[in-house]
């Protein structure tokens, strides 16, 4: 068995990956790690962005540190925005990743992909973030476009025509005179909701749970009035829910938010969703704040250390509560509990997949 092999530890690794809780809009959760040879691109992306910390106790430190360089480079490259310094950082990380890869895994495993990765920074420098020109999204609608071809002849002409029509419709998507029927069709093809500018709210029926543990906190806030509790809410077509134990692998309760018009970002779990005086426009989230203890770090060949800016090692403080409005939410997060209080929290590299 090779020194880097983790085949004997796949069951242990799977248990940790099973604890990952992603937003329900995440395109695809990874299947069992034992069948990684059958993974789709989106499953590998989920492992790279959110599952990497599970490998810390599985891989030997030198292999894990090498893996982190690839992870951080991909997180930067898939970020919402990239700057010139980001391209330089990706170049440094991928050069070190490739250099170490050859020494760690031997030249036998240095495929053309390993070489190509060392040029990834050029794409960022000249074009921008990876997700803005990745063919992955385009490939996901090929099946739908193919289904639009009818009959037994001239399929190629029909496909080209449909593709051109789809491309044109997307270009004019934000036009104020855009037809609603065409908008609905495009949303179906895109498999995502169009972000709305107004504060649209959809509240299911009130909660059946009891919230006695928050009574003292809420009663101490002046002017709250008559409170109604809810378990879930759809705000601007984005789903949020309270943090409770359940068997689902998705979770929409961990979020990043602003507080009191401050630019500082906070992390937390939605502990309760409330409306005041039966007014569906007067909505608050009761947040249980998460405390960031430290960030994941990478040691470079020159022994300097850099930190992953979108992943944190955190603690939950049960008594750290705060009320926010839905407009204060920045994005949903992914998390994995290690113990009852300690957890790893991961930010989506770009907002395209965080809602």
329 — phi, psi (to 5°)?
Answer: -75, 130
Question: What is the distance between the alpha carbons of residues 253 and 234, in angstroms, rounded to a whole number?
Answer: 12
Q: What pLDDT, on a 0 to 100 scale, did the predictor assign at position 195?
A: 46
User: What totals of helices (H) and strands (E) does the chain contain, helices first?
Assistant: 11, 11
How many other CB atoms are found less than 10 A from the CB of residue 234?
Answer: 14
Take residue 190 and report the two structure tokens written for it.
């895109």
Mean pLDDT by groups of 10 residues along the chain of 355 residues: 90 94 81 90 88 94 94 89 84 94 91 88 87 68 72 81 79 80 73 53 84 84 82 89 81 90 87 86 91 92 89 90 92 93 90 52
Q: Which long-range contacts (CB under 8 A, 24 or more apart) does 241-246 make?
A: 241/270, 241/273, 242/207, 242/209, 242/270, 242/271, 242/272, 242/273, 243/269, 243/270, 243/271, 243/288, 244/209
Q: Looking at the chain, which runs of residues are DSSP E strands?
A: 20-21, 201-202, 227-230, 232-235, 238-241, 254-257, 266-276, 279-299, 305-324, 329-337, 342-347
pTM: 0.81
Are residues 49 and 23 in contact, defined by beta-carbon separation less than 8 angstroms? no
For residues 335 and 312, what is the distance between their CA atoms, to the nearest angstrom? 10
Q: Residue length, the chain?
A: 355
Fold of 201-353: SH3 type barrels. (2.30.30)
Name every residue whose Cβ is closer than 8 Å to that of residue 274 and which is 6 or more positions away in sequence.
218, 227, 228, 229, 230, 283, 284, 285, 286
Q: Are strands 254-257 and 266-276 parallel, antiparallel or unpaired?
A: antiparallel
Cα–Cα dist 233/197, whole Å: 17
Separation CA 12–CA 244 (nearest Å) = 25
- Domain residue extents for the chain: 142-190, 201-353
Residue 8 carries which DSSP code? G
Q: Which residues pair with 305 in a beta bridge?
A: 299
- Residue 312 confidence (pLDDT): 95
pLDDT value of position 346: 94
What is the reported pLDDT for 41? 81
């Amino acid at each position: 068995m090779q020194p880097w092999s983790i085949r004997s530890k796949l069951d242990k690794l799977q248990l940790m990956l099973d604890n990952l809780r992603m937003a329900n809009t995440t395109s695809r959760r990874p299947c069992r790690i034992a069948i990684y040879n059958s993974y789709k691109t989106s499953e590998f992306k989920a492992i790279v962005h959110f599952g990497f910390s599970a490998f810390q106790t599985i891989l030997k430190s030198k292999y894990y540190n090498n893996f982190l360089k690839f992870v951080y480079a991909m997180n930067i490259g898939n970020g919402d925005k990239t700057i010139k310094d980001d391209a330089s950082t990706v170049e440094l990380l991928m050069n070190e990743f490739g250099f170490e890869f050859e020494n760690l895994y031997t030249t036998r495993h240095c495929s053309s992909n390993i070489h190509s990765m060392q040029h990834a920074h050029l794409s960022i420098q000249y074009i921008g973030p990876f997700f803005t020109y990745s063919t992955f999204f385009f490939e996901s609608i090929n099946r739908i476009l193919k289904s639009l071809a009818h009959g037994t002849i001239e399929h190629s002409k029909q496909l080209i025509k449909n593709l051109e029509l789809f491309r044109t419709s997307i270009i004019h998507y934000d036009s104020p005179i855009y037809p609603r029927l065409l908008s609905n069709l495009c949303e179906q093809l895109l498999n995502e909701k169009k972000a709305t500018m107004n504060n649209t709210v959809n509240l299911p029926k009130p909660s059946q749970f009891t919230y006695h543990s928050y009574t003292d906190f809420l009663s101490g806030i002046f002017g709250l009035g008559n409170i109604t509790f809810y378990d879930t809410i759809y705000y601007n077509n984005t789903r949020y829910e309270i943090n409770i134990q359940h068997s689902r692998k998705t979770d929409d309760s961990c979020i990043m938010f602003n507080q009191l018009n401050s630019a500082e970002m906070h992390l937390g779990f939605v502990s309760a969703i409330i409306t005041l005086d039966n007014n569906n426009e007067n909505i608050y989230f009761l947040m249980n704040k998460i405390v960031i203890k430290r960030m994941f770090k990478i040691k470079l060949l020159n022994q300097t250390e850099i930190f992953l800016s979108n992943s944190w090692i955190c603690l939950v403080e049960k008594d750290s509560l705060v009320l926010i409005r839905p407009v204060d939410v920045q994005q949903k997060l992914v998390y994995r509990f290690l113990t009852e209080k300690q957890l790893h929290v991961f930010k989506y590299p770009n907002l395209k997949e965080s809602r």
